[in-house]
A and B are shown apart, each in its own frame.
Chain A
Amino acid sequence: MGKLEEVLDLINSGVTQEMEIAKRLGLAKEEVSDIIKILENLGYVEKVEAGSKTCESCPLKKVCYGSCLKPTGVVAYRIRENVQEKG
C-alpha cells in the first residue's frame, strides 16, 4: 500500500491531525500536507477553508480557529458506479 492510501485510511479511521498522521507514518509534516492536498484534489478529502462561506455559516466557527478537513465519504469504486451508467 502506498503512502496516499495509508494517509487516507488514517483519516477515514478518525486520526484527526496532520501532525498525528505524520507521526504515525513516520513522514514529514510537509509531506503529509502535500498528500492531503493530493487526496483533496482526487475528491477523497474535503477542506473547508477558514473564511469560506461554509466556514462562516458553520455553527462551530467560534471555536474552530482555522480550516478543517473532512473525508468526502468516497471510499471505494462502488460510489463511482453511477458515473459508469452516465457514460
Chain B
Amino acid sequence: MAMKVVALAGNPNVGKTTVFNSLTGMRQHVGNWPGVTVEKKEGVFEYKGEKFLVVDLPGTYSLTAHSIDELVARNFLLNGNPDVVVNVVDATSLLRNLLLTMEIFEMGLKNVVIALNKIDLAEKKGIRIDPLKMSKALGVPVVAMSAKEGIGIEELKDKIYEMAQGRIKTNPVVPRYDPEVEREIEHITNSLKGTKLERRYPLRWLAIKLLQRDDEVMKLVLRHIGEERLREIMTHIGEAEARYGRAMDLIIASQKYEFIDRLTHEFMSYVGKEKESLTDQLDRILIHPVYGFIALAMVFYAVFKFIFALGLPLQEWLDGLFASFGEWLAPQIANETLRGLLVDGIIGGVGSVLSFFPLVFLLFFALSILEDVGYMARVAALMEGIMRKFGLPGKSVIPLVLGLGCNVPAVMATRTLEDERERLVTMLVSPFIPCSARLSVISFLAGAFFGSNHSIVALSVYLIAILVALLSAWLVGRFVVKGEESPFVIELPEYLIPSWKTVVTHSWERSKEFVKKAGTIILLGAIAIWYLSNYPVEIGSGKSYAEKLGYLFEPYMRLMGLDWKAAVSLLFGIIAKENVISTYGVIYGTTEAIKNAMTPLQAYVLAVVTTLYIPCIATIGAIRAESNWKWALFTTAYMIAVASIVGILIWHAGVALGLA
C-alpha cells in the first residue's frame, strides 16, 4: 500500500522543521522538486503500523505567487494530493499565522490539522489559548504542542493517523469579506462557472487570487476563459480598487486579518503580560520624550568623562614626549633653519596634533560601543522627532549622527534624502556637528583652561553646536518649502553586550585616518605655518607673514575677544581643524605658554568658533560634489556668519558676567 502523504505547512520559523524532526526522528532525506530549485525535506514515520511520508514545505506567509517558496508550497498543496496537511502555527503570533491557515482553508483543503506550536513560549508571554475552543472556531483539529520540548508529538501523530483513516470530519471556517468584495468575488465566480476550472479548483479561491492579481492564477484563468473576459474581470477589479483607493490584495489581507482578530477572541486571551524584557524596560526610559533626553545628556557626559579621564593624561604624556624629543633633537642639528623647521614646525605642529590621538581613539571607541550596544539607534530614534520639529526630515538624523565622526561621510549620507531641498538643508547644517578633529581642539582648550570641569565644558560646546545646527535648519527651512516626507522606521535592536574585538578594530579603523591626516595635510600645514611665522622676519617682530595676515583680521577677531593668533590658526583650520592646535603649537611652543596667553573665556570662545566657523576643505569639497559650488559657498559664508554672531555673543555675555 502506498504511504500516506503528510504536508507540513506554515509561516517561516514557526518550528516546522522541529516538528518534522520529532515526527520522523530525523530520518529525513533531501530531495528535489520537479521543476523548481527549492529543496524540500522528506521523511518517514510509522504510527500504529501505518507508514507516513512527511514533506516539510518551505515556510511562507501567504500562498500568493509572491515568491518561488510560496509557489512551491502552494503547488504541493494544490497538486501534490497530500492526505493530511499539518499547518504548524506559532502560538505567540497567532493572528499572523492564521492568515495562512485561512488561505489553506480557502483553497478548499479539508484534511487539515493545526499544530499549535510554541505553547511553552506563549505560556511565558501570558497568552492563553484553549485548543478545544480554537478547534471549534476553526472547524479543524488543533493539537497544542511544544515541538522543542517534545510535547504533543504523540497526539499529533494520532490526529494525523485518524484523519488519514478518514475518521475525522472537519468543517474549516472561511473568512467573509465586505459586501463590496463579496460582490467582486461573486462577479468573478460567475464568469468562471461552467469552465473546466470549476472541477479542479474552488472558484472562490480562484476569484480571491484574481482579486489579488496573482500572476500564476491570471495565466491559468487566461487559458480557460480567454483574454477578453479576463480583461473584463480585471477592469471590474480596477474599478472596485478605485472606489477603495487601495489595492485589492491589501484590502483582502486586511479584512482577513480583521476576521481572524474577531475569531481569536473566542479562544485566546491575555493574562497579565510576561515580565517586560530588559530591552523594553530600558527603552521605556531611553527613548522616552523627556527622560530619554536626560539619559542622552548623561550618556554623553559619561562619554566625555571617560574620554578625558583616560585620554588627557595620555595626551599630556605624549605632548611631553614630543617636547623632549624636540629638545633632544635641537642641539643635534647645526643648521638653524632646518632645526627650526624640524623642531618648531614639524615636531611642534604635528606633535601637538598627534598627541590628541588617544582622545580621538577613545571617542571612536566610545561611539563604537554605543553603536554596538544598540544605543545609537535609540539616539537616532530620539532625535528623529526633534529633527522634524525643526523642519528636517526624520531621516536627516543619520547624517548628523555620522557627523560626530567626520563631516564628509555625513554630507555624502544626505544622498539618502529623496527631497532635494531637504537634502540641501541637511547638507548645510551637518558641518556644524563637531567631528573628531574638532574634538581634539575642544579637548585641547577644555583640558588646558578648565581643569576638572573639562567634560562639562566640552559637552556644552557640543550642545551649542547641535543647537545651532537645529536652529539653522529651522531658519533655512523657513525659506524652503517642505517636500514630501520620506518615511523611515528605525528598528530598535535588542541591547547587546558588544564584542570587544570588533569595537577595538572598529575604533582603530576609524581613528587611524586621524594619524594619516597628521602625516599628510597637518604636516604640510605645520610647515606652512612655520614658514609664515619665520619669514621674512621671525614672529614677534610684527613683520612675519603670519602676523601681517593675522593683523588683517585682528579688528574682526577683537569683536569676540580674540587676537591675530586666533585669526591665523582659524585660517589654517580651514584646511583641517586640527591645524588650530598645531598653529598654536608652532607659534607658542608649549602648552604652558598658550595657557598664559589666553583667559578661559577666550579659550571657550575659540573652541566654539572653531567648531562652528567653517567646514574644512574636505567637507566643502563634499558639499560641492553633492550639490554645486553655489551651495558650498553659501554654506561656508553662512557658517562664518553664524560663528561670528555666536562668538561675539558669548564673548560679550562672558564679559558682562565678569568672566573676562
Contacts and interface: CB of A to CB of B under 8 A. Distances in A.
Contact of A16 (B96, B255, B374, B489): B489
Interface in B198-255: 213, 215, 218-219, 222, 230-231, 234-235, 238, 241-242, 244-250, 253-255
Interface in B397-415: 398, 401-402, 405, 409, 412-413, 415
A84 B95 contact: no
A70 B255 contact: no
A19 B492 contact: yes
Contact of B398 (A1, A38, A63): A63
Contact of B488 (A3, A16, A41): A16
Interface string A42-59: 111000001000000001
Interface in B372-409: 372, 374, 376-377, 380-381, 384, 388, 394, 398, 401-402, 405, 409
Contacts of A14: 388, 394, 485-488
B66 to A, nearest CB: 7
B416 A16 contact: no
Contacts of A87: 215, 218-219, 222, 230-231, 234
A52 B384 CA distance: 24
Which of B235, B244, B245, B490 has most A Cβ within 10 Å? Answer: B490
A62 B509 CA distance: 12
A42 B255 contact: no
A42 B253 contact: yes
A11 B404 CA distance: 28
A25 interface: no
A66 B247 CA distance: 30
B452 interface: no
B62 interface: yes
B253 A60 contact: no
B488 A30 contact: no
Contacts of A67: 491, 493
B283 interface: yes
A18 to B, nearest CB: 7
Contacts of B415: 59
Contact of B492 (A18, A71, A76): A18
Given A16-B489, A34-B93, A80 B253 contact: no
A68 to B, nearest CB: 6
A83 B215 contact: yes
B95 A34 contact: yes
Which of A43, A68, A71, A77 has most B Cβ within 10 Å? Answer: A77
Contact of B384 (A8, A16, A59, A77): A16
Given A19-B492, A34-B96, A77-B238, A63 B402 contact: yes
Nearest to B230: A87
Nearest to A62: B402
Given A3-B257, A4-B250, A76-B241, A38 B61 contact: yes
Nearest to A8: B250
Nearest to A9: B246
B374 A65 contact: yes
Contact of A44 (B96, B250, B486): B250
B611 to A, nearest CB: 20
Nearest to B283: A19
A8 B488 CA distance: 12
Interface in B237-282: 238, 241-242, 244-250, 253-255, 257-258, 261, 280
A13 B405 CA distance: 31
B215 A66 contact: no
A3 B258 contact: yes
Contact of A42 (B96, B234, B250): B250
A73 to B, nearest CB: 10
B586 to A, nearest CB: 34
B377 A66 contact: yes
A79 to B, nearest CB: 8
A16 B383 CA distance: 12
A83 B248 CA distance: 13
A34 B234 CA distance: 30
Given A11-B489, A14-B485, A62-B371, A38 B222 contact: no
A2 B254 contact: yes
B6 interface: no
Contacts of B493: 50, 65-67
A34 B412 CA distance: 34
B246 A76 contact: yes
Interface of A: 1-5, 8, 11-19, 29-31, 34-35, 37-38, 41-44, 50, 59-60, 62-71, 74, 76-77, 79-81, 83-84, 87
Given A35-B257, A38-B253, A43-B66, 18 more contacts: A3-B258, A14-B394, A14-B486, A16-B384, A18-B492, A19-B492, A31-B95, A60-B413, A60-B416, A64-B380, A66-B492, A70-B489, A76-B246, A76-B247, A77-B242, A81-B238, A83-B213, A84-B235
24 contacts: A3-B257, A3-B258, A3-B261, A8-B250, A11-B487, A14-B394, A14-B485, A14-B488, A16-B381, A16-B489, A16-B490, A35-B96, A37-B96, A59-B409, A60-B398, A62-B371, A62-B402, A62-B409, A63-B401, A69-B489, A70-B487, A70-B489, A71-B487, A84-B235
